[in-house]
A and B are shown apart, each in its own frame.
Chain A
């Protein structure tokens, strides 16, 4: 399993500074949930960890290797970082099985038979063995997201990044995806999860990080950050999330 360390991370899009100096770390085997209002920079932070966004300044380390170093082979580094997107991003022209095998074959150079075996194991894990020959468009959002998780797991990542994995789902489909993630956490996977699911964060997270306006406001165990927040901004946000319409 893996550790993440982020030092003095800044990210600007043009003149807009989205991340204003982030320092934080994830220990091996920990599940860390990042919460906060939209526009707080939490997704950008996650995308900086696997360098989908190039940080403006600062450093990102995974297992002590600095990914932000110019000499690092980012393609090699990304192999150990599984990424799950809000919009699933399954490869639309490929079957479910092929979605899960293609990177194993093309990137890890696994033989076809081994890739298929590993793909089937992981589809089994997310409860979608019988959908192996379907195309993404034939699946519900929740099923697509579980395939996306299987696709990431098939690469044997040491760290999983989740970018609002349930935000694009109909409410009745959220549970299945969270169930898969919960089991992953129980298996000891290191996970960094940007989410609005307070129930999941409270139950599963070892730590909850509250971000607002590009900075980390509060960082601690869920019983503290969610149940007894110290900062006003955290309290206001949680009140809005937990009592919508009040």
Chain B
């Protein structure tokens, strides 16, 4: 019975749709070919660069924030908590707009790397807030006895953190960080607000520009598929890693 409804709706949609128009607009191979090889050599490449640079920055800064969040020094904890709350609450778009505007307050200052620097900073600042929470949970998930054993061997607290606790915490947070990477990849599409040139263009803007040029939405479909080409396997890897850890603990 439920299937009957589903099939009826599908048949109705298929009957009403203009199939030649669909093929012409969304599955136009001639238009799709126009995007090659720039789709991969420029757009995908830039998307990966923006994503990874933001991830690396967010990883490093997020770890520092997590350690501050767990610090015995109260002002560090407050600062870190404040930062995390603020940047988890802001849309990346707004952060990008601020990154463009803030240098106005410092005449002569320019962020190194141009758009690449701005993109890395924006994506890094926001993802750091999320990763900090992941790291904090990971560090707290390492059994207390590990720190006690390290301290009993004469390791100072910081050394024990670096040699014993953080390596184990990172293993624990690999699945959530992989999800973070997927989210970041999608958010990298917002880099277009920074005003990118033809060589700095990433997937979303590339698809959009192409579809304007040819007055045909096929490139958007291609762009979407290119995103999925990365996000679906990554998401799969993340779930696999999660399942594996669940089995071990």
A-side interface residues toward B, CB under 8 Å?
50, 52, 75-76, 78-79, 81-83, 85, 87, 89-93, 102-103, 106-108, 148, 151-152, 155
A52 to B145, CA, bound (A): 11
A85 to B168, CA, bound (A): 19
Instruction: Given the known inter-chain contacts A91-B164, A92-B168, please indicate yes or no for A76 contacting B154, CB distance below 8 A.
Output: yes
* Cβ-based interface call for B149 (8 A): yes
Residue of A nearest to B153 (CB): A103
* Cβ-based interface call for B159 (8 A): yes
Which residue, A50, A85, A103, has most C-beta atoms of chain B within 10 A? A103
Q: A93 contacts which of B148, B151, B152, B168 (Cβ < 8 Å)? A: B168
Contacts of A107 in B (CB 8 A): 153-155, 159
A89 to B153, CA, bound (A): 12
* Cβ-based interface call for B88 (8 A): no
Instruction: Given the known inter-chain contacts A85-B149, A89-B146, please indicate yes or no for A102 contacting B163, CB distance below 8 A.
Output: yes
A80 to B168, CA, bound (A): 27
Shortest Cβ-Cβ A-B pairs, 9 listed: A103-B153, A83-B152, A89-B145, A89-B149, A79-B154, A107-B154, A78-B154, A75-B156, A93-B168
A81 to B150, CA, bound (A): 12
Which residue, A79, A92, A106, A152, has most C-beta atoms of chain B within 10 A? A106
Q: A151 contacts which of B145, B148, B153 (Cβ < 8 Å)? A: B153
Contacts of A90 in B (CB 8 A): 149
A155 to B168, CA, bound (A): 23
* Cβ-based interface call for B171 (8 A): yes
Contact in complex: B146, A50 (CB < 8 Å): no
Residue of B nearest to A76 (CB): B154
Instruction: Return A139 CB to nearest CB of chain B, in Å.
Output: 15
Instruction: Given the known inter-chain contacts A91-B146, A106-B159, please indicate yes or no for A52 contacting B151, CB distance below 8 A.
Output: yes
A93 to B156, CA, bound (A): 19
* Cβ-based interface call for B167 (8 A): yes
Contacts of A52 in B (CB 8 A): 148, 151-152
Q: B155 contacts which of A81, A87, A106, A151 (Cβ < 8 Å)? A: A106
Residue of B nearest to A82 (CB): B152
A151 to B155, CA, bound (A): 13
Q: A79-B153, A91-B146, A107-B153 are in contact. List 16 more A-B contacts (CB 8 A).
A: A75-B151, A75-B154, A78-B151, A78-B152, A78-B154, A79-B154, A82-B152, A85-B148, A89-B148, A89-B149, A93-B171, A103-B154, A103-B155, A106-B155, A106-B159, A106-B163
Contact in complex: A155, B151 (CB < 8 Å): no
B residues 138-170 near A (Cβ < 8 Å) are 143, 145-146, 148-156, 159, 163-164, 167-168
Contacts of B168 in A (CB 8 A): 91-93
Contact in complex: B151, A91 (CB < 8 Å): no
Q: List 15 A-B contacts (CB under 8 A).
A: A50-B152, A78-B154, A83-B152, A83-B153, A85-B148, A89-B149, A91-B149, A91-B150, A93-B171, A102-B163, A102-B164, A107-B153, A107-B159, A152-B152, A155-B153
